[in-house]
Chain A
């Protein structure tokens, strides 16, 4: 089991009903974690549209989860 901290923004924040949470996870990759959360909170966006930041750096969603990772799943952005 790995302990991770997840922060939510925009649509995900509303769907999850919270800004952040800490979870103990047993899935192996970030994508699997996203898919689990997406099902749980009904995010409604497929995993291949999501960017991922771990410890405030963009990283690849297919990578294995690191213990104590600070995770942000980034829905499509709309700056400007």
Chain B
């Protein structure tokens, strides 16, 4: 519970209200009025508060802490009005089963309050005129000039163009961290950070936005704070979500460019399908062992998409990923940085090198390969008519049992025979030997608007 108070805070009452036999730790933080600040002798402090919003925001911060750190309870009280030296300006207490959570939560609450609560502080001095003070920790930009920040790059980029650009980075991991750092430092005006994951100790050897004392925290929040410190002149949006075919369009909408820094084929293809559907440029990178590849997709151009030559989404189980084939920090950092560099080039010129040619880079011998990207003129994805997910219309055997469907064995049927089922009133599940041909046909039929067709995943082999 959050409170605002014009009179002195009662520490005993606040602490007693947290009593709980299930709690193994309470961590209390008190902020006091001290007699000096930045070389000046302080005589007293005056707090002003926008109470309607401060109450809401304070309560929200406590709820966030409760959820984030699995707390038993959290309380905070903030004074307003005129305070004398030694008075308690803020009291925060958090209880949890274990001390680590309680420590982290209390720290989190004070940091968020400092950052978000609409409360202002006027310092009265012994020898000088009183002054409104800003929280220096979060507002370095009060003291620095934006032009000075970009001074060393001003001859290389069009800063005003970057400032109005909006880029979404999907995945704040091995590729995402360096890509985000690159975009942040360059001064891309608005950057969205999209991830659902928490920091794991095995991430830190390659994901330089995180550190071992932050294991367990949500990546998007840590990344946002760290990046804001790197560049106080840009807007950062932390989006804590997992991309799926339901939410993808909503998540991507409103950005000028998407960076795919994810680690699995399902998501990569989903992002690409979505970008072609709403005509958003996309820069996609992947890493395998010491090799990496990067490609830029611009819907409507002559350089095509991944489905031009391979209709199906590759099965993740057939490919390596970081978890089983191994990955080095230097590799993801190089590739993520190239992605950011390609993004900057695109934002400035509307195209870049990896649009016409995919780049394959091998760090073990520094060899590189550039392969021309071409378009298959009958590709439905390029036309923006591709479906948003392979998984939606691929069904398992449970669908056959749970719902009233018609199972159609197409192994001995011609494509034209299947057309006869276009007017079926019940869902039709196509089944071939391994689920490959059925999927292809289903995708084609659905692109024509026949949404009642499904493909049996794995085909007859799975029955």
Residues of A within 8 A of B (CB): 7, 9-11, 13-14, 48-49, 51, 53, 56-58, 72, 74-80
Contacts and interface: CB of A to CB of B under 8 A. Distances in A.
Contacts of B116: 77
Majority DSSP secondary structure for residues of B touching A: mixed
Contact of B114 (A9, A51, A80): A80
B117 A77 contact: yes
A79 B56 CA distance: 15
B106 to A, nearest CB: 12
Given A10-B48, A58-B57, A77-B134, 19 more contacts: A9-B50, A11-B120, A56-B53, A56-B56, A58-B53, A72-B50, A74-B118, A76-B138, A77-B116, A77-B117, A77-B119, A77-B120, A77-B135, A78-B114, A78-B134, A79-B78, A79-B117, A79-B135, A80-B135
Contact of A80 (B50, B110, B134, B233): B110
B200 interface: no
B142 interface: yes
Interface in B32-76: 47-48, 50, 52-53, 56-57
B133 A9 contact: no
A77 B114 contact: yes
A48 B57 CA distance: 21
A79 B134 contact: no
Given A9-B48, A10-B122, A80 B56 contact: no
Interface in B82-122: 89-90, 110, 113-122
B1 to A, nearest CB: 17
B135 A48 contact: no
Contacts of A57: 53, 56
A13 B46 CA distance: 14
A67 to B, nearest CB: 20
Contacts of A74: 50, 118
B117 A49 contact: no
B113 A13 contact: no
A57 B50 CA distance: 11
23 contacts: A9-B50, A10-B120, A11-B120, A11-B132, A13-B48, A49-B141, A51-B118, A53-B118, A56-B52, A72-B50, A76-B138, A76-B142, A77-B114, A77-B115, A78-B120, A78-B132, A79-B117, A80-B31, A80-B89, A80-B90, A80-B114, A80-B117, A80-B119
B113 A80 contact: yes
Contacts of B115: 77
A17 to B, nearest CB: 15
Nearest to A72: B50
Interface of B: 31, 47-48, 50, 52-53, 56-57, 78, 89-90, 110, 113-122, 132-135, 138-139, 141-142, 233
B114 A48 contact: no
B233 A48 contact: yes
Contact of A10 (B110, B117, B132): B132
B36 to A, nearest CB: 16
Majority secondary structure, A binding face? mixed
Contacts of B138: 76
Contacts of B31: 80
A11 B118 CA distance: 13
A18 to B, nearest CB: 14
A53 B117 CA distance: 12
A56 B233 CA distance: 25
Contacts of B113: 79-80
A53 B118 CA distance: 10
Contacts of B56: 56-57
Nearest to A75: B120
A60 B137 CA distance: 23
A79 B119 contact: yes
A49 B139 contact: yes
B135 A78 contact: yes
Contact of A79 (B114, B139, B141): B114
Nearest to B57: A58
B96 to A, nearest CB: 21
